């Protein structure tokens, strides 16, 4: 079956990673204990956790039923051996062991960075949720997983096949769903204070941007566009002779869009059309055959069939639109401000072992760069008859 994809924890983690470009010079030493890859506050991310998610990430990237080649530094002997067993396309030269080792090294570097980001960012969310008193029950997590399974997989068998091929246990998946649920609740709690928008706020916004709630005059047209004036004259004569606009447009018009609609060109506002046509349209009387009018596109013959006068939406009519807009703007600003502190605080409290430093670590290398957000949520399966391509970054 095709590899399934997991939805990333987006709104919180994407912002948490944003801005983690070039970082500080490498620090001198850290307090990461032996058999650990990182420490966030008093919590330790162990070597065994890293190794487990590295295997999962490798399994998620394998294709074609080949043996999973988990990168095994520093010599990468198992990885090279596994890759050496993979068939080579006809006409291509079998790669050397040195080439295969380079592939393993590159894959390991990518997976190392992304697995570390996942584990560190997951710990950030778990700790922040605990500080904020945000909880997710086991029942909530299980219910969310069931809902996403129903949406993503045609049956239980397909889901079990996915688990088998992904290298994850259901416990791992539930952990990712829990992260996603915590992130959603954290975001909701952080932004709930920004949801209040007063009537005075709405009125002030409306007064300052009243023109944004106005609709200009609009006109419905029937048009025929020809290459030259002679053809336009013929088209006009045909209409005056009793032929319908649809018939004439089909015979003479070179404008495929309006021609397909029987010559109709609806809801034209001033300034939307080429200048000569625009002036003629808004000077014409309703029901009056006009043209030929010369434009840079050709010659128009047209008739105004409907005039919708300019209008101004009232404050009452605009109120809910403005309320939702202001609420969204305030929520985003509140979240952005909070994320800035969140990122700085947790990064300052995150130390990584020398071989596992990434941009989320306070002792990150000078030019280490943050990339993909950590992943959470349940598997995004496939609709029957379609395929979902795996994401290139780790999706543990």
Tokens of 164: 């088998």
Q: What pLDDT was estimated at residue 311?
A: 92
Q: How far apart are CA 310 and CA 88, in angstroms?
A: 68
Q: In the Cβ-directed half-sphere of 26, how many Cα atoms lie within 13 Å?
A: 12
Domains, the chain? 5-192+351-380 (no CATH), 217-309 (3.10.50.40)
Cβ(136)–Cβ(338) below 8 Å: no
Q: How far apart are CA 364 and CA 354, in angstroms?
A: 9
Q: Count each helix (H run) and each strand (E run) in the chain, helices first.
A: 13, 11
Cis peptide before 211 (omega within 30 of 0): no
Q: What pLDDT was estimated at residue 68?
A: 72
Cis peptide before 74 (omega within 30 of 0): yes
- Spans of the chain, pLDDT less than 70: 1-30, 62-67, 367-396
Q: How far apart are CA 237 and CA 241, in angstroms?
A: 6
Q: How far apart are CA 99 and CA 101, in angstroms?
A: 5
Q: For 73-88, how does the pLDDT look when each residue is reduced to its tens digit (9 = 90+)?
A: 999 999 999 899 888 8
Tokens of 339: 């994320």
Q: How far apart are CA 38 and CA 46, in angstroms?
A: 7
C-alpha distances in angstroms, 383 versus 63, 110, 151, 224, 280? 19, 29, 9, 45, 52
Q: Cβ atoms within 10 A of the Cβ of 64, count?
A: 6
Q: Is the pTM of this model over 0.85?
A: no
C-alpha distances in angstroms, 110 versus 20, 87, 260, 291, 395? 17, 24, 52, 66, 12
Cβ(22)–Cβ(101) below 8 Å: no
Q: What pLDDT was estimated at residue 40?
A: 96
């Amino acid at each position: 079956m095709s590899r399934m994809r997991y939805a990333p924890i987006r709104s919180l983690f994407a912002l948490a990673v944003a801005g983690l470009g070039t970082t500080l010079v490498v620090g001198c030493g850290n307090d990461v204990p032996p058999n650990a890859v990182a420490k966030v506050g008093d919590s330790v991310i162990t070597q065994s956790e890293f190794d487990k998610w590295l295997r999962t990430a490798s399994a998620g990237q394998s294709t074609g039923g080949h043996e999973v080649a988990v990168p095994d530094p520093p010599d990468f002997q198992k990885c090279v051996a596994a890759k050496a067993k993979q068939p080579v396309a006809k006409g291509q030269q079998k790669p050397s062991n040195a080439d295969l080792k380079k592939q393993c090294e590159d894959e390991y570097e990518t997976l190392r960075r992304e697995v570390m980001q996942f584990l560190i960012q997951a710990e950030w969310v778990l700790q922040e949720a605990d500080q904020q008193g945000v909880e997710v029950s086991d029942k909530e997590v299980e219910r969310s997983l069931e809902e996403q399974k129903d949406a993503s997989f045609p049956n239980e068998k397909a889901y079990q096949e996915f688990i088998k091929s992904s290298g994850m246990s259901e416990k791992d998946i539930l952990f990712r769903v829990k992260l996603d649920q915590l992130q959603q609740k954290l975001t909701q709690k952080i932004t709930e204070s920004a949801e209040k928008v007063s009537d005075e706020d709405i009125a002030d916004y409306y007064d300052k941007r009243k023109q944004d709630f106005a609709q200009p005059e609009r006109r419905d047209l029937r048009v025929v566009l020809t290459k030259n004036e002679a053809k336009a004259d013929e088209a006009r004569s045909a209409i005056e002779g009793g032929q319908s606009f649809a018939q004439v447009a089909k015979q003479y018009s070179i404008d495929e869009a309006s021609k397909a609609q029987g010559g109709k060109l609806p809801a034209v506002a001033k300034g939307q059309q080429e200048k000569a046509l625009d002036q003629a349209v808004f000077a014409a009387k309703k029901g009056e055959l006009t043209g030929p009018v010369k434009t840079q596109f050709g010659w128009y013959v047209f008739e105004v069939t409907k005039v919708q006068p300019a209008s101004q939406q009232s404050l009452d009519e605009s109120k809910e639109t403005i309320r939702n807009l202001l609420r969204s703007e305030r929520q985003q600003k509140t979240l952005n401000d909070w994320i800035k502190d969140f990122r700085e605080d947790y990064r300052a409290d995150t130390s990584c072992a020398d071989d596992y430093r990434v941009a989320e670590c306070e002792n990150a290398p000078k030019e280490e760069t943050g990339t993909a957000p950590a992943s959470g949520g349940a598997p995004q399966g496939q609709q029957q008859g379609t395929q979902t391509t795996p994401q290139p970054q780790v999706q543990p």
